[in-house]
Amino acid sequence: MGIQIKNVHLLDSPENERTDIYITGDHISGIGKEPRGFSKDEVIDGSGRTAMPGLINCHTHAYMSLMRNYADDVPFAEWLFERITPIEDSLSSEDAYWGNMLSIMEMIRTGTTSFVDMQMFPRMCVKACADSGMRALITRGLVGEGPGDEGGIRRLREAFDEMEYGKASGANVEFALGPHAIYTCGEAYLRHVTELAREKGMKLNIHLAETEKEYRDCLEEHGCTPVEYLERLGMFKSHILLAHCVRLSDHDFELLANPNVFVVTNPASNMKLANGFAQVAKMLECGIQVALGTDSAASNNALNMFREMNLLTMTQKGAREDALVLSAEETLKIATRNGALAMGREDLGTLKTGSTADLILIDEKSPNLMPRYNMKAALAYSASGYEVSDVLIGGRIVLRDRNFITIDEEQVYYQVSQIADRYK
C-alpha cells in the first residue's frame, strides 16, 4: 500500500515551501522524491495543509472518559472516593471498551497518534487500539503491598496475561509495568516490580510527586522526597515515565536529569485538581527530559494535546513571569519528539524518510490560524486542535477530511450514552 501526500507544507520547512510525502506500508519511504518502484495506491491532496508528526499523549487513563464532567467543582476527596471510584468499581469490560474508544476518537480527532495509558482494563484498551488503528504504550495500574500480597500479585499476573493477549492481537500496542504511585504501592511491592522490569528489560510508568500531601507523607515515612525514594529503590536504572512531578526539591531536579527518566507533565490536571504548576521551564534548564500528557478526561476534561500544549506554554510563561520560556518550537517538540523518546520509539515524533508514518495534516484555512506568518507559533498559540483534517498511524489513514475512517462515531456515542444513563 502506497500513499502520496501531494503539495503539502512540512512544519520544519521554510513557511512557503511545499513538497510531497511518500508512504509505503507503515513508514515514510520518501520526501520530495518518489522512491523507486513506489506503488501509488492513494493520493491525499496536501494543498492548504501542513504536515507534522502526530502528537503523543504520554499520560492518560483512556477508559475514564466515561466519567468526563460527572464530578466537577467538588473537593478532591469527594471527587475521588465518593464520585469516581464507585463508578470505576461498577464498570464492566465492555463499558471500558467504549470508554477507550471514546477517548481514542477524541485523541485522533485532535491529532494524537500515540498515547501512554494506565489502565484497569488493558485488554479492552488493546481491543480499542486494534479496532481504531491507534498506537499505545499500555500499563496495567498496579497496586499492592509486597510479594505476599495476593491482590498485588494477581494484578501483576493479569498484567502479564494481558501483554500476551496484546502481543498476539496485532494491534499497535506495547506494554510497560505501571506501579500506580508510592502511596498505593508498598516498598516491597515497588522493589519487586522494579526487579521484574530490570529482568525483562521493561519500561516503568508511575505517578509521582503530584500533591503536597504525597510529598509531605513521603518525607515523614521514608525521610526523603518521592523522587529520592524512587532513586533509592533503583527505579531510575530502568527507562521510566514519571507523571506529574509537581512537588520537587532542588536535589530532585538533579536526580531527574537522568537519561532513563522522562517527566510527563499534565498542566490541566494539575490545575484542575489544585496541585498548582509543575516547574517545567526549570526542568528544561536542568536538562531533564519532559513529555506532555492530558491525564484522564475526569480531571482535565479533554484529551486534546493542542489545548494541552497551549496550557503548558502559557502557564509556564505566567508562573515564571518570563515570556521567553517554553517557545512554540520547544512546546511542539515536547508534544512530539520528546513523547516518542519517552515511549522508547526513535522512529516516531519526526517526519523523515524511514520514520514510521504517524503523521497529521492541519487545515491552514481556519480564521484562528490566519494570517500565516509562523506555523509553529500558530499551532502552539492559536490552534484549537480541531483544525486537524487527516491522521495517519503506521501508514493507515484513520481520519480523512475530518471524518473517522476506522471508527463508527454514532455507535460510540450511542454506547457511551447508554452507559452514562446508568449513573445519572
Interatomic CA distance for residues 241 and 238, integer angstroms: 10
Angle formed by the axes of helices 150-169 and 187-200, nearest 10°:
30
Q: Applying CB under 8 A, which of residues 257, 286, 314, 405 lies at the interface with a copy of itself?
A: 314
DSSP codes of every residue in 108-165: HHTTEEEEEEEES-HHHHHHHHHHH--EEEEEEEE-BS-TT-HHHHHHHHHHHHHHHH
Q: Closest distance between a copy of itself and the C-beta of residue 226, in Å?
A: 18
- Is residue 15 within the footprint of a copy of itself (CB under 8 A)? yes
**String of contacts with a copy of itself for each residue 257-276, x by CB under 8 A:** -----------x-xxxxxxx
End-to-end alpha-carbon separation of the chain, Å?
Answer: 46
**String of contacts with a copy of itself for each residue 140-159, x by CB under 8 A:** --------------------
Nearer Cβ to a copy of itself, position 225 or 299?
299
**String of contacts with a copy of itself for each residue 378-417, x by CB under 8 A:** x-xxx-xxx----------------------x--xx--xx
Half-sphere exposure of 263 (CA within 13 A, CB side): 31
- At residue 397, φ and ψ (nearest 5 deg) are -80, 120
- Is residue 66 within the footprint of a copy of itself (CB under 8 A)? yes
- Is residue 68 within the footprint of a copy of itself (CB under 8 A)? yes
Nearer Cβ to a copy of itself, position 316 or 350?
316
- Is residue 13 within the footprint of a copy of itself (CB under 8 A)? no
- Is residue 76 within the footprint of a copy of itself (CB under 8 A)? yes
- Is residue 320 within the footprint of a copy of itself (CB under 8 A)? yes
**Which residue carries 519528539 as its cell?**
337
Interatomic CA distance for residues 247 and 235, integer angstroms: 18
State the sign of the Cα–Cα–Cα–Cα dihedral 348, 354, 357, 363. Answer: positive
State the amino acid at position 224 in one-letter form: C
- Is residue 367 within the footprint of a copy of itself (CB under 8 A)? yes
Is 70 within 8 Å of 301 (Cβ atoms)?
no
Nearer Cβ to a copy of itself, position 102 or 357?
102
- Is residue 372 within the footprint of a copy of itself (CB under 8 A)? yes
- Is residue 218 within the footprint of a copy of itself (CB under 8 A)? no
Nearer Cβ to a copy of itself, position 251 or 414?
414
- Is residue 377 within the footprint of a copy of itself (CB under 8 A)? yes
Count Cβ atoms below 10 Å from residue 7 Cβ, excluding itself: 14
Q: Applying CB under 8 A, which of residues 243, 277, 289, 295 lies at the interface with a copy of itself?
A: 277
- Is residue 323 within the footprint of a copy of itself (CB under 8 A)? yes
Q: Which of 202, 330, 179 is nearest to 265 (CA)?
A: 330
Count of residues in contact with a copy of itself, rule CB under 8 A: 73
Footprint on residues 98-137 left by a copy of itself (CB under 8 A): 102, 105-106, 109-110
Instruction: Select the span of 73-81, 159-167, 181-189, 193-201 touching a copy of itself (CB under 8 A).
Output: 73-81
- The cell for 140 is 496495567
Interatomic CA distance for residues 194 and 179, integer angstroms: 9
Q: In 25-129, at which residue ranges do the beta strands (DSSP E only) sit? A: 27-31, 42-45, 49-53, 55-60, 112-119
Contacts of 384 (CB under 8 A, 6+ apart): 304, 306, 307, 368
- Is residue 70 within the footprint of a copy of itself (CB under 8 A)? yes
- Is residue 345 within the footprint of a copy of itself (CB under 8 A)? no
